[in-house]
Amino acid sequence: MPVLVMKFGGTSVATLDRIRRVAKRVGVEVAKGYDVIVIVSAMSGKTNELVGWVNETSPLYDAREYDAVVSSGENVTAGLMALTLQEMDVPARSWQGWQVPVLTTSAHSSARIEDIPTDNINAKFAEGMRVAVVAGFQGVSAEGRITTLGRGGSDTTAVAFAAAFDAERCDIYTDVDGVYTTDPRVSEKARKLDKIAFEEMLELASLGAKVLQTRSVELAMRYKVKLRVLSSFEEQSDTAGTLVCDEEEIMESKVVAGVAFSRDEAKMTLVSVADRPGIAARIFTALSDAGVNVDMIVQNIAEEGRTDMTWSCPTIEVQRAQKAVEEAKENGTINYHEVIADVDVAKVSVVGIGMRSHTGVAAKMFQVLSAEGINIKVITTSEIKISVLIDRKYMELAVQALHDAFELEKAA
Ligand code: ASP
Ligand code: MG
């Protein structure tokens, strides 16, 4: 029988009532003839509560025990979902990660899935079980310890199961009804997309759109898993939500698919560093050793052998970055005049695969921002996106103006 993967996020399983409601949806797919693998998150708020308990008990916690505690939220929902399905006479059972087993690396709290052997679950399907309810977000390491995949990780669990079981589709049920051209809370003209290409979704997810964990999109793209994002709060239909798919499946698309933003960015500059081979390597090695996630990088034109080096990183990493460069200065690895941090910036990006073949997108973006009197601090581009760093107070304005200028409220 064809396999369907259905993933339910925290708000979709937040109460016993909601679990009953989504279980009915699972029942509908079973009645259509699918063997279903249901991936569940913890009830909403649960994982945060568990993380809080760990921090309160042990600030410098043992990461293996963090995973043991934090993975438990999903175990509860998996069992409750299986019980609910059984009450509806749907043959179902729950599986924790180690029982499948979901084999992962031992990088606790950010483990990667290495393999999902299908034998155990397939044997149960062959015996007549119709739904395997799997606890998302968790796995087991080669050392036999419980691991977790990082926050939002059950999306990745779902896509990995869809790939392993060669599922017809992977439906991600959440509290929004799909992927939008931008966040509807920022622009009321935001429009739900029927389809979006993997690469666009990947950019949007990593640029701050929070619907899907970035790694899940990466995985879906690699294994060509058809992903659908849809709401568990609305009526079921075959065309609901947004399909994340191969670009060949999208007949017509606009040059720009969406506008993404991330609020908590900071811009840091090392003023007057020596301009010679090896300096950038030393600066960014020091930052990377300190665990700073550097995003944009700009090096100014050098004058008299000195240059300024600017980068952006998440606001919460500024102190760590500052400490890293100060230490590198003290031990003589790098030399600079001063370090400046601007923590009131935001990143706004336009994304679209159409940019590969259309020119003028950057020019138009910069014109729109200039017409609004918004100063651009840093620019980066890739084949399908253009990002700018601007003052945070203009973020909403920039998003709205760009959404209007690229006419994203209209379908292609
Ligand atoms: N419950 C986990 C979290 O809140 C995993 C997930 O829901 O995707 O991050
Ligand atoms: Mg999520």
Tens digit of each residue's pLDDT, the chain (412 residues): 899 999 999 999 999 999 999 999 999 999 999 999 999 999 999 999 999 999 999 988 999 999 999 999 999 999 999 999 999 999 999 999 999 999 999 999 999 999 999 999 999 999 999 999 999 999 999 999 999 999 999 999 999 999 999 999 999 999 888 999 999 999 999 999 999 999 999 999 887 777 899 999 999 999 999 999 999 988 777 778 999 999 888 877 789 999 999 998 999 999 999 888 999 999 999 999 999 999 999 998 878 889 999 999 999 999 999 999 999 999 999 999 999 999 999 999 999 999 998 989 999 999 999 999 999 999 999 999 999 999 999 999 999 999 999 999 998 7
In terms of Cβ atoms closer than 10 Å to its own Cβ (0-12, 13-18, 19+), residue 128 is: exposed
Q: What is residue 302's predicted lDDT score, i.e. its pLDDT?
A: 79
Please give the sequence-ordered ranges of beta strands (E in DSSP) within 53-160, or none if there are none: 92-95, 103-104, 113-115, 131-135, 138-140, 146-148
Task: Tell me if 47 CB under 6 Å of ligand 1.
Answer: yes
Task: Tell me if 174 CB under 6 Å of ligand 1.
Answer: no
* Nearest alpha carbon, ligand 1 atom 6: 152
Q: Which residues pair with 342 in a beta bridge?
A: 267
Q: What share of the chain is helix, strand, coil (3-state, %, to 5)?
A: 40, 25, 35
Q: What is residue 251's predicted lDDT score, i.e. its pLDDT?
A: 79
Q: What is residue 335's predicted lDDT score, i.e. its pLDDT?
A: 92
Q: What is residue 211's predicted lDDT score, i.e. its pLDDT?
A: 85
Q: What is residue 301's predicted lDDT score, i.e. its pLDDT?
A: 85
How many Cα atoms are found within 13 Å in the side-chain-facing hemisphere of 4?
19
Q: What is residue 85's predicted lDDT score, i.e. its pLDDT?
A: 98
Ligand nearest to the CA of 150: 1
* Helix ranges, 236-317 (H): 279-289
List Cα–Cα distances, 405 to 40, 323, 350, 394, in angstroms: 40, 42, 11, 16
Please give the backbone phi and psi of residue 121, each rounded to the nearest 5 degrees, phi first: -70, -40
Q: What is residue 84's predicted lDDT score, i.e. its pLDDT?
A: 98
List Cα–Cα distances, 110 to 13, 63, 105, 107, in angstroms: 23, 10, 9, 6
Q: What is residue 303's predicted lDDT score, i.e. its pLDDT?
A: 85
Separation of CA 394 and ligand 2 centre (Å): 28
In degrees, rounded to 5, the angle at the alpha carbon of residue 126 between the alpha carbons of residues 125 and 130 is 30
Residue 363 near residue 150 (C-beta atoms within 8 A): no
List Cα–Cα distances, 279 to 57, 274, 303, 313, 325, in angstroms: 42, 7, 15, 19, 12
Q: pTM for this structure?
A: 0.87
Integer Cα distance of 104 and 114 in angstroms: 5
Separation of CA 317 and ligand 1 centre (Å): 22
Residues in the chain: 412
Query: At 377, which amino acid appears?
Result: K
Atom index in ligand 1 nearest the CA of residue 74 equals: 1
Separation of CA 150 and ligand 1 centre (Å): 8
Integer Cα distance of 49 and 14 in angstroms: 14
Task: Tell me if 84 CB under 6 Å of ligand 1.
Answer: no
Task: Tell me if 153 CB under 6 Å of ligand 1.
Answer: yes
DSSP 180: B
Virtual torsion, Cα 99, 101, 107, 110, nearest 10 deg: -80
Task: Tell me if 175 CB under 6 Å of ligand 1.
Answer: no
**Angle of helix 72-87 versus helix 46-57 axis, rounded to 10:** 150
Separation of CA 351 and ligand 1 centre (Å): 26
Virtual torsion, Cα 342, 343, 348, 349, nearest 10 deg: 70
Integer Cα distance of 67 and 150 in angstroms: 10
Residue 26 near residue 85 (C-beta atoms within 8 A): yes
* Nearest alpha carbon, ligand 1 atom 8: 152
3-state class (DSSP) for residue 173? strand
Atom index in ligand 1 nearest the CA of residue 213 equals: 8
Integer Cα distance of 295 and 207 in angstroms: 10
Q: Which residues pair with 94 in a beta bridge?
A: 133
Beta-carbon contacts of 58 under 8 Å, excluding residues fewer than 6 positions away, are 65
Ligand nearest to the CA of 137: 1
Task: Tell me if 154 CB under 6 Å of ligand 1.
Answer: yes
Atom index in ligand 1 nearest the CA of residue 41 equals: 7
Q: What is residue 77's predicted lDDT score, i.e. its pLDDT?
A: 98
Integer Cα distance of 82 and 96 in angstroms: 12
Task: Tell me if 41 CB under 6 Å of ligand 1.
Answer: yes
Read off the tokens for 165: 């079981």
Most ligand 1 atoms within 8 A of CB, residue of 110, 137, 212 to mutate: 137
Separation of CA 11 and ligand 2 centre (Å): 9
Query: At 361, which amino acid appears?
Result: V
Nearest Cα residue to 260 out of 365, 157, 166: 365
Task: Tell me if 42 CB under 6 Å of ligand 1.
Answer: yes
